[in-house]
Amino acid sequence: MTTTRTPRLGRLATCAALALAVAGGLTACGSGDTPGPDVTIKNAATAPAKETAPPMAPSQPKRLQIPSAGVDAGPFVPLEVDSGGELGVPPVSQAEQPGWWTKSPTPGEKGASIIVAHYDTKNGPALMRNVKNINVGDVIKVLREDGSTATFTIRERQQVKKDDFPTRKVYGDTERPELRLITCGGEIVDGHRSANIIFYADLVK
């Protein structure tokens, strides 16, 4: 697990500025000495929605639901970026819980909200064990503390090597309410998954 030593940037910082604080993909996730099966998905995308639902007021995420992958989990683990620019991941003891980068917008706000979850850990399969079942057009729901639900539709899924992570595409500025869901995939190299799997989604309700 990464440490939490990033400077506090404040809620007024733009997503573009936040993108510069992140070095790239999730390098801290992996399966250690007891790897599970490798996972590879086919990249797929559709055109971004011409219009999204109106941005929602800020409200902390409470629970993550992805029906196509059998995910219904919470609470969220708060994540930070360490001094080396690495985004943290939920600890192994919380591998069945999603994480949310606290410096990104809350899900449903304008901008790209960043959610992270494990595919597996040294203890075995984790929350995103069924990641291969998630397709373009599927729904991701985030239940929020104010009682509302932010509903997103996936428009792109992408698997990339960790040393080729699309930092600006994932963390960069957007004028629309969007979601990025990041997990790990690929084969095990030096105790860690060699790739990241990224889902890009638009707020629809």
Q: Is residue 8 part of a domain?
A: no
- Cα–Cα distance between 97 and 89 in angstroms, integer? 10
pLDDT at 28: 55
pTM, entire model: 0.85
121-139 mean pLDDT = 94
pLDDT interval class at 137 (50, 70, 90)? very high
Q: Is the pLDDT of residue 27 over 70?
A: no
Would residue 138 count as lying in a domain?
yes
pLDDT at 11 > cutoff 50: no
Length of the chain: 205
Report, as an integer, the average pLDDT of 1-25.
38
Is 75 among the domain residues? yes
CB-based contact 102:115 (threshold 8 Å) = no
Three-state DSSP state, 190: coil
How many domains does the chain divide into? 1
Q: For residue 45, what are the domain limits?
A: 15-203
Q: What confidence tens digit (pLDDT) does each residue in 92-127 have?
A: 999 999 999 999 999 999 999 999 999 998 888 999
* 103 belongs to a structural domain: yes
User: Is residue 10, in this structure, part of any structural domain at all?
Assistant: no
| Predicted pLDDT of residue 16 | 40
- Count of C-beta atoms within a 10 Å radius of residue 26: 26
Tokens describing residue 174: 């957007």
pLDDT digits (tens, 9 = 90+) for 63-100: 999 999 999 999 999 999 887 778 889 999 999 999 99
In a domain, 51, yes or no: yes
Per-residue model confidence (pLDDT) at position 198: 97
Residues 189-199 as b or e (16 or more Cβ within 10 Å = b): eeebbbbbbbb
User: Among 158, 152, 117, 116, which residue's Cα sits nearest to residue 137?
Assistant: 152
The predicted pLDDT at position 25 comes to 59
Mean per-residue pLDDT of the chain: 85
Check which CATH number belongs to the domain holding 194 and give it: 2.40.260.10
